[in-house]
Structure 1
Amino acid sequence: MTVKHIRTGSPFEANIGYSRAVVADGWVFVAGTTGYDYATMTMPEAVEDQCRNTFDTIARALAEAGATLDDVVRVTYILPDKADWPKCWPITSTVFAKARPAATMLVADLQEEAMKIEIEVTARVPQG
C-alpha cells in the first residue's frame, strides 16, 4: 500500500505528531481542521470566518491529494457551542452542494478556547 502524508506547516502537526491528511489506496483522510489562517497563524473571531478558513485548508489538502471538496464522502463537524452550528449551514450547504456527504455534528471542547469549529473529512480520489 502506498501512503502519502500531506502537511500544511501548522505547528500543531509537528508538536502533536500528525499529518493534515493521509492518502491511502485512493482514500483521503483529512484530520480535524480548525479555522486558523496558517499563513499568519491567526484565528478569526466569528464562527463563519473560521468555517470558511477550515474549508480553505481542507480544500488545499484535498488538492494536493488529487481530490476536491466534491469528492468528500464523509464529514464530521465538531463545535463547542451548538448554537453556532446554524450559522455555518449556509457555508456547508454551498461547499457540499454537489458532494452531499454523509455528515455528523458533535458538541465537544476543542484544543483552544478561540476555536469554534473543527471539521474532518474523508474523500475518494477520482479514478481515471
Structure 2
Amino acid sequence: MRRLISSGSSFEATIGYSRAVVQDGWVFVSGTTGYDYATMALPDDIEAQCANTLATIARVLAEAGSSIDDVVRVHYILPDRRDFPKLWPQLSQVFATARPAATMIEARLMEDAMKIEIEVTARLRS
C-alpha cells in the first residue's frame, strides 16, 4: 500500500509532490529545506536552516512510522560546498545511530535564500 505524507508546505500543492511517500517498507522523504512550514519563515543562517530541515524530516518520519535512526540514505544539497563543514557537528549528532550512506551535492536551490536541502530514505520499523 502506498501512503502520501504532507508537511503542509504550499510548495507541495503548487509543484505537485508529497513530502514523503511510504511504500513497501520504505519511507522516501523529498528534498526538504529550512523553512518552518507552519509560518513559512526561512532563517538567514545555514545552521538554523539545517535544524529546521532535520526537524521537519524527523516529524515526517515519525508520522510514517519511522525515525531518524532508521535512515539508510541521505543526500545533502548545498549551493556552496564550503558551508558543509559548518553542519558536520549537527549532522554527526543527529545521524550518530543511523550512520546512513551519504552524498553531498553542490547545486543551486529553488530560491537564493535556501542554503541547504536534505533528502532521506528510511526503513519502516518492523
Shorter chain as normaliser: what TM range? Answer: over 0.9
Instruction: Write the deviation string for residues 55-113 of structure 1: whole angstroms up to 9, x where unpaired.
Output: 00000100010000000000000000111100010110000000000000000000001
Question: The residue matched to 1:64 in structure 2 has which SS?
Answer: helix
Partner SS state of residue 57, structure 1: helix
Task: Identify unmatched segments of 5+ residues in structure 1.
Answer: none
Q: How many residues align?
A: 126
2:65 is aligned with 1:66: yes
Q: Distance in 2 between matches of 1:84 and 1:12?
A: 25
Q: Are 1:5 and 2:4 counterparts?
A: yes
Partner AA of 1:96 in structure 2: F
Structure 2: which 5+ runs fail to align?
none
Instruction: Measure, in 2, the Cα distance between the counterparts of 1:25 and 1:65.
Output: 12
Equivalence for 1:18: 17
Tell me the residue number matched to 2:96. 97
Partner of 1:49: 48
Identity percentage of aligned residues: 68
Return the TM-score normalized by structure 2. Answer: 0.99
TM-score (norm 1): 0.98
2:27 is matched with: 28
Give the superposed CA RMSD. 0.4
